[in-house]
Amino acid sequence: MTPEEYLAIQKDRVNKYLEMFLLPETIKPVSIHKAIRYSVFSGGKRFRAALCIAACEAFNGDQVRVIPVASGLELIHTYSLIHDDLPCMDDDDLRRGQPTLHRVFGENIAVLAGDALNALAFNLVSRAEDCRIIRVLADAIGTEGMIGGQVADVESEGRSDISQDDVMFIHTHKTAALIKAGLEMGAITAGASDEDLKITGEFGSLIGLAFQIVDDILDIESSSEVLGKDVGSDELQDKATFPKVFGLDHSKEIARKMIDDAVAVLTRLHADTDILQGLAQFVISRVY
């Protein structure tokens, strides 16, 4: 199975689960349930969820048990995009080819929809009945993870003295932490050993960082039609990106090297890693 085929299958499963789980738009207060569905079903790739499921499968875990966990991960990702797009953050107008949530529903509903998704994710993730998974997720999205990276990101805007360490800090925390956590959550759901869990985390750190570097590159080389979001916005907002600090060509080399390293890490796992290997290659070959 190609990574694209695997992604399509898992995207469909996660979307069906979320369709079933999320409250209908008719439930009061109607606005927040509409806002949540608008954001959640706006066409994400569900790449994080697919990695989580793939990690679970690699260790022969139960695929049904991991779907709520993987779906919760996507709700966290969705909430983070909603809050990132807010006027007080990146002030973006376009996301996944549609107007950002606050442009349609107002800033207050956008803040609250993000808040609700944050909590809802923990309900989903709790369904594997293992509190270790809760802590892995909570830590990955806290001030030593995703939020820490987002803070460093907004504080770096417009600064001319951004170092390689700075941009590494931002990307490791803002993006890689959640991708790493998703893989670990899948492995824990499958009952992986502590050693395998550690190796899975190493793999996650590498592809998570590569994923964000490629994102930076696409923001320069792709088009908004393909990406479904504003391109060139990093430069416009004077964001700390890999191409800005390392140069475009060197950034590509770094990402390529990280994927090679990630694939090498996989050989140390006591698991069937074909799918994970394919998904790692997808990170570097994707065009959207």
Judged by the rule CB under 8 A, the positions of this chain that interact with a copy of itself are 23, 27-29, 31-33, 36, 79, 83, 86, 88-89, 106-109, 111-112, 114-116, 118-120, 122-123, 125-127, 129-131, 134-135, 137-139, 141-144, 147-148, 150-152, 154-155, 169
Other C-beta atoms closer than 10 Å to the C-beta of 256 total: 14
Q: Which residue has the tokens 């695929």?
A: 63
Write the CB contacts of 29 (distance below 8 Å, at least 6 apart in sequence): none
Nearer to a copy of itself, 137 or 262 (CB): 137
Q: Least separation, in Å, of the C-beta of 176 and a copy of itself?
A: 16
Closest distance between a copy of itself and the C-beta of residue 145, in Å? Answer: 9
Least separation in angstroms between residue 264's CB and a copy of itself is: 30
Which amino acid makes up residue 150?
A: Q
Shortest distance in whole angstroms from residue 287 CB to a copy of itself: 31
Let me know if 260 is exposed, middle or buried by CB neighbors in 10 A (0-12, 13-18, 19+). middle
- Look at residue 230 and give its three-state secondary structure: coil
Residue 28 burial (CB count, 10 A): 8
Residue closer to a copy of itself, measured from CB, 109 or 213: 109
Residue 83 vs 252, nearer CB to a copy of itself:
83
DSSP 8-class letter at 222: S
Nearer to a copy of itself, 58 or 240 (CB): 240
Closest to a copy of itself by CB, 141 vs 263, is 141
In angstroms, what is the minimal distance from the CB of 146 to a copy of itself?
8
Residue 95, beta-bridge partner list:
98
Neighbouring residues of 236: CB distance < 8 A, sequence distance ≥ 6: 230
103, 93 in Cβ contact below 8 A? yes
Q: How many CA atoms lie within 13 A of 108 on its CB side?
A: 1
In the chain, at which residue ranges do the beta strands (DSSP E only) sit?
Answer: 94-95, 98-99
- Smaller CB separation from a copy of itself, 131 or 236: 131
CB of 189 to a copy of itself, least distance (A): 13
**Among residues 136 and 284, whose Cβ is nearest to a copy of itself?**
136
| CB 102, min distance to a copy of itself, A | 9
Question: What is the nearest approach in angstroms of a copy of itself to the Cβ of residue 69?
Answer: 12
- Rounded Cα distance between 86 and 107, Å, is 7
H or E element: which one contains 73? helix 63-85
What does the alpha-carbon distance between residue 42 and residue 11 come to, in Å, rounded to a whole number?
12
Q: Rank residues 112 and 275 by Cβ distance to a copy of itself and give the closer one.
A: 112
